[in-house]
């Protein structure tokens, strides 16, 4: 059963001057247009704007608005048994590895009582695409993660939903839930991980949920933060005692009244392919309101045995969603935040999202970067105090990291490079991400497509750090990737076997800006960047089609030897496809290897982060 899409045109989208002529839609099993590829090489003359592919037509604002709503349309159906999917274009290649592509994200954002929550508060919906390279078919399953909030808010007999948890990013119908302290709604909707014998769905505010691999049934919360209490060996310089007292006063309110877990596990983890380790980060709940940040970094072996755990306290009020690592360091980008007193009062009384208690803090023009020693016992002779951040000479809010690596020179100097996506403090807004309008209970795509230059919106950047033999900073710089600085992009990925190593290629979801009122988001294109030759190639989904995060499936030793998986959302047809791309052929007409169709009754909304688990 689908929820009904919104059909009322908002006043802030003007009607078109002339109605568009009717377009005859092709059969749902046949793609309406052939994807077009674009190839870019380093020019000898100043670059010019890319032409819009002729297969992509400009749509009027009404079509753009409705397409955007359909991208986030709730899906209330689940599968009881695996479903064999149909291949509607191309074939699954003989050498495609056996394994499962897991994708999580919000599945229900609107209940049956008029409430609409932020996509970040939507209940986690796990999708699994299992490839069998013997018979070359793909089986599909999709189920909700049965979190505590899910069990409370969903009636399995009637399949009806009634939201009772506010969630940190949302307001329930009419903002009438005054006194509702159910804020921390663990929806397990942000990322998924298969490590050792565990399949975990993760959220930013608490423990992950463990899932049964074959059935996708929910086992329950998996404790990854037990014993992660912070010690006092990393005291804050100048006023640590004051903030410790403040933390003790906040804990009974946050833990007791608002039922927040003492610690929250970040949804972004890292895999050290060279050491075959899983790396995670957790932090204290009360640090969201204090000018200090406590982090616990934990590393696990391939059997999920804990190898090492380190606690660090950073004297800064910051929020991180993603982070990086190298052979010698954990890297934390200080996205600065501050407490909003008026916003806090409105949030406590349920009249605005709880997250409005926090605001970005653009008080400094630099971007602080903390280099935290990964193996401090090996670096006792190093003189640099890690509590003092490096200051990159630009102000950027870091969203996602594609890769990071370091190069050790014979004389002891160290070069570190991080490839990431960042946006401006002027654009980033906690409560309005994805266009959530809690006052009108609608999604406003204009919020994600603001005017003012690509430097405001999420875009690809390269962070370069040079350290001397004592880890003192000689240079720190953040620059947009010049080949792709004009285009909004996110979800940067590499071949996972090159994680933490020097890489040549970076892939990301992007857009060429051809939609009239959706020039920046949602994404409709995959870009492959060659970081050595400064060139870029693209594959575009087609007219009225969007894409999510690309995932690299390795199959050989070369860096681009494998396949890319990306979900294509054909919103005008209310269909989803899993697309297989050949990374070596991106930029050519034959980059698409296969397009696999999900049945229409199982069409699902935009996902967040996925994981490829090889058999």
Task: Please say if the pLDDT value at position 433 is more than 80.
Answer: yes
| Comparison of pLDDT for 15 and 594, the residue scoring more | 594
- Sheet-wide strand order for 198-202: 191-195, 198-202, 209-211, 218-221
241 confidence band (pLDDT: 50, 70, 90): low
Q: Nearest to residue 50, comparing CAs of 60, 38, 59, 64?
A: 38
Token reading at 345: 């009062």
In sequence order, which residues have a C-beta less than 8 Å from that of residue 297 and are 6 or more positions away?
279, 280, 281, 309, 310, 312, 330, 372, 374
Residue at token pair 């994680």:
499
Q: Nearest to residue 12, comparing CAs of 450, 454, 424, 428?
A: 450
Q: Across the strands, what pairs with 562?
A: 554
* Burial environment of residue 562 by CB neighbours within 10 A (0 to 12, 13 to 18, 19 or more): buried
Percent of the chain with pLDDT over 90: 62
| Comparison of pLDDT for 119 and 515, the residue scoring more | 119
Q: Across the strands, what pairs with 477?
A: 464
Q: In sequence order, which ranges of 162-236 are alpha helices (DSSP H)?
A: none
3-class secondary structure per residue, 203-268: CCCCCCEEECCCCCCEEEECCCCCCCCCCCCCCCCCCHHHHHHHHHHHHHHHHHHCCCCCEEECCC
Is this structure's pTM higher than 0.85?
yes
| Comparison of pLDDT for 185 and 25, the residue scoring more | 185
Task: Please say if the pLDDT value at position 427 is more than 80.
Answer: yes
- Rounded Cα distance between 551 and 496, Å, is 9
| 601 marked as binding residue | no
Burial readout 193-203 (b: 16 or more C-beta within 10 A, e: otherwise):
bbbeebbbbbb
**What average pLDDT does the chain have?**
85
- Rounded Cα distance between 105 and 165, Å, is 18
| 609 marked as binding residue | yes
| 321 marked as binding residue | yes
- Tell me the average pLDDT across 345-360: 84
- Rounded Cα distance between 599 and 248, Å, is 52
Task: Please say if the pLDDT value at position 221 is more than 90.
Answer: yes
**What DSSP letter does each residue of 299-337 carry, written as one string?**
EE-TTS-EEEEEEEEESS-EE-S--EE-SSEEEEE-EEE
- Tell me the average pLDDT across 273-292: 89
Task: Please say if the pLDDT value at position 327 is more than 70.
Answer: yes
Per-residue model confidence as pLDDT tens digits over 247-257: 777 777 777 66
Lowest mean pLDDT segment, chosen from 35-39, 84-88, 119-123, 521-525? 35-39
| Residue 30 pLDDT | 40
Per-residue model confidence as pLDDT tens digits over 24-67: 444 344 444 444 444 444 333 333 334 444 444 444 788 899 99
| 233 marked as binding residue | yes
- Tell me the average pLDDT across 405-410: 95
Per-residue model confidence as pLDDT tens digits over 132-172: 989 889 999 999 999 999 999 999 999 999 999 988 999 88
């Amino acid at each position: 059963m689908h929820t009904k899409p919104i059909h009322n045109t908002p006043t802030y989208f003007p009607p078109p001057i002339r109605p568009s002529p009717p377009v005859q839609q092709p059969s749902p099993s046949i793609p309406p247009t052939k994807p077009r590829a674009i190839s870019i090489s380093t020019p000898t003359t100043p670059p010019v704007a890319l032409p819009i592919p002729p297969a992509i037509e400009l749509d009027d604002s009404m079509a753009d608005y409705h397409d955007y709503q359909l991208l986030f349309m709730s899906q209330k159906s689940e599968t009881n048994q695996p479903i064999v999917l149909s291949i509607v274009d191309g074939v699954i290649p003989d050498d495609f590895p056996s394994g499962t592509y897991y994708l999580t994200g919000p599945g229900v954002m609107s209940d049956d009582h008029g409430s609409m929550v932020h996509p970040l508060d939507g209940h986690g919906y796990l999708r699994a695409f299992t490839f069998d390279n013997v018979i070359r078919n793909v089986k599909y399953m999709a189920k909700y993660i049965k979190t505590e909030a899910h069990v409370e808010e969903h009636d399995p007999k009637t399949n009806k939903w009634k939201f009772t948890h506010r969630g940190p990013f949302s307001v329930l119908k009419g903002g009438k839930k005054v006194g509702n302290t159910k804020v921390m709604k663990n929806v397990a909707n942000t990322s998924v991980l298969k490590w050792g014998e565990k399949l975990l769905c993760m959220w930013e505010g608490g423990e992950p949920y463990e899932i049964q691999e074959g059935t996708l049934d929910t086992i329950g919360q998996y404790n990854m933060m037990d014993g992660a209490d912070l010690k006092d060996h990393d005291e804050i310089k100048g006023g640590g005692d004051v903030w410790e007292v403040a933390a003790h006063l906040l804990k009974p309110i946050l833990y007791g009244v608002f039922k927040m877990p003492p610690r929250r596990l970040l949804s972004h983890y890292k895999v050290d392919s060279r050491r075959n380790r899983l790396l995670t980060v957790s932090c204290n709940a009360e640090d969201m309101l204090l000018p200090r940040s406590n982090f616990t970094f934990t590393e696990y072996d391939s059997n999920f045995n804990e190898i090492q755990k380190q606690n660090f306290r950073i004297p800064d009020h910051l929020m991180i969603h993603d982070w990086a690592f190298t052979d010698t360091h954990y890297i934390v980008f200080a996205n600065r935040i501050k407490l909003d007193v008026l916003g806090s009062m409105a949030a406590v009384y349920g009249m605005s999202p709880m997250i409005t208690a926090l605001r970005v803090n653009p008080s400094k023009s630099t971007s602080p970067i903390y280099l935290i020693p990964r193996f401090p016992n090996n670096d006792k002779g190093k003189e640099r105090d890690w509590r003092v951040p490096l200051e990159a000479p630009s102000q950027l809010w870091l969203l996602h990291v594609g890769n990071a690596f370091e190069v050790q020179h014979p004389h002891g100097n160290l070069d570190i490079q991080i490839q990431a996506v960042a946006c401006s403090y002027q654009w980033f807004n906690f409560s309005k991400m994805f266009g959530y309008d809690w006052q009108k209970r609608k999604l406003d795509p204009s919020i994600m497509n603001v005017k003012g230059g690509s430097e405001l919106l999420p875009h690809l950047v390269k962070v370069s750090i040079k350290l001397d033999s004592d880890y003192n900073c000689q240079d720190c710089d953040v620059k947009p990737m010049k080949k792709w600085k004009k285009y909004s992009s996110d979800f940067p990925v590499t071949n996972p076997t090159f994680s933490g190593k020097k890489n040549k290629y970076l892939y990301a979801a992007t857009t060429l800006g051809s939609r009239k009122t959706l020039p920046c988001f949602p994404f409709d294109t995959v870009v492959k960047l060659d970081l050595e030759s400064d060139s870029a190639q693209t594959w575009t989904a087609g007219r009225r089609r969007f894409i999510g995060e690309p995932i690299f499936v390795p199959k050989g030793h070369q860096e681009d030897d494998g396949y890319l998986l990306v979900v294509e959302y054909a919103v005008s047809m209310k269909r989803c496809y899993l697309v297989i791309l050949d990374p070596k052929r991106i930029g050519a007409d034959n980059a698409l290897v296969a397009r696999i169709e999900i049945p229409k009754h199982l069409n699902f909304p935009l996902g967040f982060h996925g994981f490829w688990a090889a058999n």
